Amino acid sequence: MDVRKDVEEIKKKREEWDKSCLQPYLKKGGEREEKFENLSWIEIGRIYDPSDIEHLDFLKDVGYPGDYPFTRGVYPTMYRGRFWTMRQFSGFGTAEDTNARWKLLLKEGQTGLSTAFDFPTLMGLDSDDPLSDGEVGKVGVAIDTLRDFQILFEGIPLDRVSTSFTINPPAAIILAMYAAIGDEQGVPREQLRGTIQNDMLKEFHAQNTLILPPEPSVKIITDIFEWGIENVPKFNLISISGYHIREAGSTAVQELAFTIADGMAYVEAAIERGIDIDKLSPQLSFFFNSHNDFFEEIAKFRAARRMWAKIMRDEYGAKNPRSWWLKFHTQTAGCSLTAQQPLNNVVRTTIQAMAAVLGGTQSLHTNSFDEAWALPSEEAVRVALRTQQIIAYESGIPNTIDPLGGSYYVEWLTDKVEKLAWDYIERIRKMGEGSVLRGVLAGIENGFFVKEITNAAARFQREVEENKRIIVGVNKFTIEEKIKIPILKVDPEVQRRQIERLKRVRAERDNVAVKEALDWLRNAAENNENVMPAIIEAVKAYASVGEIMGVLKSVYGTYKKPIII
Amino acid sequence: MERKIRVLVSKVGLDGHDRGAKVVARFLRDAGFEVIYTGLHRTPQEVAMAAVQEDVDVIGISLHSGAHMALVPKVLNYIKEYGGDPDELVVLVGGIVPEDEFDDLKAIGVDGIFIPGTPISKIVDFIKEIAPKKKRSKMEKMEN
């Protein structure tokens, strides 16, 4: 990168320093490790100077925020304009329980809602399905029909909040329910703001919320794109997620590479459908993990923006500069939380949250310190939210944009992470004979993604077992302790109450209208038409999540994941 | 030659968090056990059937869904129903389990509970210590 001193002069000086200053010192003491590696096993140098980044061009590779390639941020003012959205993911029990928790969070200063669903809802099952037994309302809110959504959003005006939904196979159903609530509240659909996760590809790689096979899953996602750009233009129709890939044990580089590849796959599917990508792009969003290796995470976020800008402009030919933006949500790393000495997690989460902010995130979820034990208690959630507020209001970090831009190390690492991620993307593209979409589908089919992630997880665990990786309180600085943290318990009555409500809805609704809507849906699916209009009709007739997914399963079949250890 | 200790590593219920189960399965295999992994989203019936059919010495049940108090007893009951005896098995539970529920799980016959951060060597040692005892009691019962 351009520097005032001539790079040759710097290199010469560095050699001198190495010989006359460093080497004698090393002879006396040596260093802590033979080799320093980050969490992606990238070897980290002793020191970086302008000669390490001489191949970079400040204007071309770094530049200014709000301007291509957006390395420094998507907005020209970033957090000087407004802070990131503080969006804590929450939900448990029945819709009433979650509605109450949301109202508390809004009162505490949270600025966006984020919904956690229970496993039956995530897996497209009704609360009275035998497979749902014991899981209703456990890790999130139970949703069976529109009736539950009406209760969930009681007293929450949809024109005033944006709501994020962590939902994948049933994403179309949840989006339809949200639109229906908007209709009931008299909020025009074009004003609805929020996000559905709706990213099935990463489910196959990592998160495993699997119902339909990969190809129909992508088909329905593309249906949602097609419907969404016309009907809910302010809604993020997908949150292309690396979070879960990372939680499953990937490195930061794999997280970045696989997420960007998935994003490319969705864009290619949209292009195949004839969707105008300049229209779709503003409604794409991303979701990353923020893990422990502080600088690597910052580098990853910066590299992600730069890669996506290049991809959208140069590969897919998007014309509108707005289409080149990579906007993202971040969650601190759940897998980094320790059950041991749980208060230490507050510190881990703070470091990770700072990396997300220094990396230019648009919204952030900070984990609570008790989450290696259970769903977070109110106190723990409050500390997590306060962590963000302290970074925002007290640390001074948000006062200047991309403060680490120009750091020799951070620029070197941003470039390194980007290069390694491109290597993966080219491998994936090759598997698809030039198409990233086909390459990702092939990688799901042949186990490429799962093997890569599983091997990284095992390698990490091996290093922990051998004490090569230190986790404070786990394999070093351990204590005998009795864990005394108040733990949120979900009322065991939730399942019974939820099933009762579902039965009541089934008895009171117009079952002819339900059948007609479900028949329409079956027809649309069988004839390869867009399924969204029929799903909206079905939702409004109070068809349940299980009934709607049931139709899709009967048309498209179900997916069983191959076993790879 | 003495048979290797056979371990069934299982994911029961709807939760898809399989990192822990898979890493544990791999490390147990490397430690010399014979390991069978069920794959994801198994019902209690499927897990119990696999345990009985494969005649395992150890059954590990991994859950991150908070549904352990509902699903673990079901697995153990189905093992009985299918002609097995959970008392002769080393029963392990791994995942997100609040500490105040350890006793509840132990009361229904769980031998060991392993939370996130447990060194896998500890699980290996635990199995090596308990499995032979369980096997002895099984032999004694058969002889009587």
ipTM of this model?
A: 0.89
Least Cα separation, residue A178 to chain B (angstroms):
25
Which SS3 state, helix, strand or coil, does residue B12 take? strand
Chain A contacts of B69, Cβ < 8 Å? 134
Which SS3 state, helix, strand or coil, does residue A111 take? coil
Chain B contacts of A138, Cβ < 8 Å? 65-67
Q: What is the pLDDT of residue A1?
A: 56
Report the candidate in B28, B103, B58, B45 with the shortest Cα–Cα distance to residue A465: B28
Q: Could you please report the per-residue DSSP string of A440-463? A: HHHHHHTTHHHHHHHHHHHHHHHH
Least Cα separation, residue B39 to chain A (angstroms):
6
Residue B106: band (very low, low, confident or very high) from pLDDT cuts 50, 70, 90: very high
Least Cα separation, residue B93 to chain A (angstroms):
14
Residues A52, A408: Cα–Cα separation, whole Å: 7
As assigned by CATH, the class of the A63-465 domain is alpha beta
pTM assigned to the model: 0.95
Report the candidate in A358, A385, A289 with the shortest Cα–Cα distance to residue A78: A358
Task: Select from A168, A205, A479, A565 the residue whose CB has the most chain B CBs within 10 Å, as the one to mutate to test that interface.
Answer: A565
Chain B contacts of A132, Cβ < 8 Å? 14
Instruction: Give contacts of B 42-81 with A, CB under 8 A.
Output: 43, 65-67, 69-71, 74
Instruction: Give contacts of B 7-36 with A, CB under 8 A.
Output: 13-19, 22-23, 25-27, 29, 35
Domain ranges of chain B: 6-143
- Cβ-defined contact of B121 to A487 (cutoff 8 Å): no
- Cβ-defined contact of B19 to A335 (cutoff 8 Å): yes
Residues A238, A236: Cα–Cα separation, whole Å: 6
Chain A contacts of B43, Cβ < 8 Å? 131
- Cβ-defined contact of A119 to B69 (cutoff 8 Å): no
Q: Does B83 touch chain A (CB under 8 A)?
A: no
- Nearest CB neighbour to A119, from listed B14, B22, B100: B14
- Nearest CB neighbour to A339, from listed B19, B115, B119: B115
Chain A contacts of B100, Cβ < 8 Å? 487
Task: Select from B8, B9, B14, B97 the residue whose CB has the most chain A CBs within 10 Å, as the one to mutate to test that interface.
Answer: B14
Chain B contacts of A203, Cβ < 8 Å? 16
Report the residue of chain A nearest B28, measured CA to CA: A565
Q: Do residues A363 and A84 lie in contact, with contact meaning Cβ atoms separated by under 8 Å? A: yes
The CB-side HSE value for A493 (13 A sphere, CA atoms) comes to: 2
- Cβ-defined contact of A561 to B37 (cutoff 8 Å): no
Q: Do residues A25 and A403 lie in contact, with contact meaning Cβ atoms separated by under 8 Å? A: no
- Nearest CB neighbour to A465, from listed B29, B74, B120: B120
Chain A contacts of B29, Cβ < 8 Å? 565
Distances (CA, A) of B70 to A118, A135, B63, B76: 15, 8, 11, 11
Chain A contacts of B70, Cβ < 8 Å? 133-135
Task: Select from A338, A373, A485, A495 the residue whose CB has the most chain B CBs within 10 Å, as the one to mutate to test that interface.
Answer: A373
CATH 3.40.50.280 fits B6-143, yes or no: yes
- Cβ-defined contact of A483 to B26 (cutoff 8 Å): no
- Cβ-defined contact of B40 to A210 (cutoff 8 Å): yes
Least Cα separation, residue B99 to chain A (angstroms):
7
Chain A contacts of B123, Cβ < 8 Å? none
Q: Number of Cβ pairs closer than 8 Å across A and B?
A: 107
Chain B contacts of A560, Cβ < 8 Å? 39
Residues A301, A348: Cα–Cα separation, whole Å: 18
- Cβ-defined contact of A561 to B119 (cutoff 8 Å): no
Least Cα separation, residue B73 to chain A (angstroms):
11
Residues A277, B27: Cα–Cα separation, whole Å: 46
Spell out the SS3 assignment of A467-510: CCCCCECCCECCCCCCCCCCCCCCCCCHHHHHHHHHHHHHHHCC
- Cβ-defined contact of A457 to B19 (cutoff 8 Å): yes
Least Cα separation, residue B141 to chain A (angstroms):
34
| C-alpha triplet A409, A411, A415: angle, nearest 5° | 115
CA A263 to chain centroid: 12
Q: In this structure, what token pair is assigned to residue A11?
A: 């290199």
Residues B84, B134: Cα–Cα separation, whole Å: 14
Q: What is the pLDDT of residue A536?
A: 97
For B12, other C-beta atoms within 10 Å of its C-beta total 27
Letter string b/e over residues A453-470, b meaning 16 or more CB atoms within 10 A of that residue's CB: bbebbbebbbebbeeebe
Spell out the SS3 assignment of A385-443: HHHHHHHHHCCCHHHCCCCCCCCHHHHHHHHHHHHHHHHHHHHHHHHCCCCHHHHHHHH
Residues B22, A79: Cα–Cα separation, whole Å: 41
Domain ranges of chain A: 7-53, 63-465
- Nearest CB neighbour to B16, from listed A132, A209, A373: A209
Chain B contacts of A339, Cβ < 8 Å? 115-117
The 8-class DSSP code of residue A315 comes to: I
More confident site: B47 or A560: B47
Q: What is the pLDDT of residue A128?
A: 97
pLDDT by position in tens, chain A (length 565): 555 568 999 999 999 999 999 999 999 989 999 999 999 999 999 999 999 999 999 999 999 999 999 999 999 999 999 999 988 888 888 899 899 988 888 887 777 788 999 999 999 999 999 999 989 998 899 999 999 999 999 999 999 889 999 999 999 999 999 999 999 999 999 999 999 999 999 999 999 999 999 999 999 999 999 999 999 999 999 999 999 999 999 999 999 999 999 999 999 999 999 999 999 999 999 999 999 999 999 999 999 999 999 999 999 999 999 999 999 999 999 999 999 999 999 999 999 999 999 999 999 999 999 998 888 888 898 999 999 999 999 999 999 999 999 999 999 999 999 999 999 999 999 999 999 999 999 999 999 999 999 999 999 999 999 999 999 999 999 999 887 777 777 787 899 999 999 999 999 999 999 999 999 999 999 999 999 999 999 999 999 999 999 999 999 999 988 888 8
Report the candidate in A265, A237, A239 with the shortest Cα–Cα distance to residue A331: A239
Which SS3 state, helix, strand or coil, does residue A554 take? helix
Residue bearing tokens 């007293």: A155
Q: What is the pLDDT of residue B1?
A: 57
Distances (CA, A) of A470 to A11, A212, A462: 35, 40, 12
Least Cα separation, residue A210 to chain B (angstroms):
9
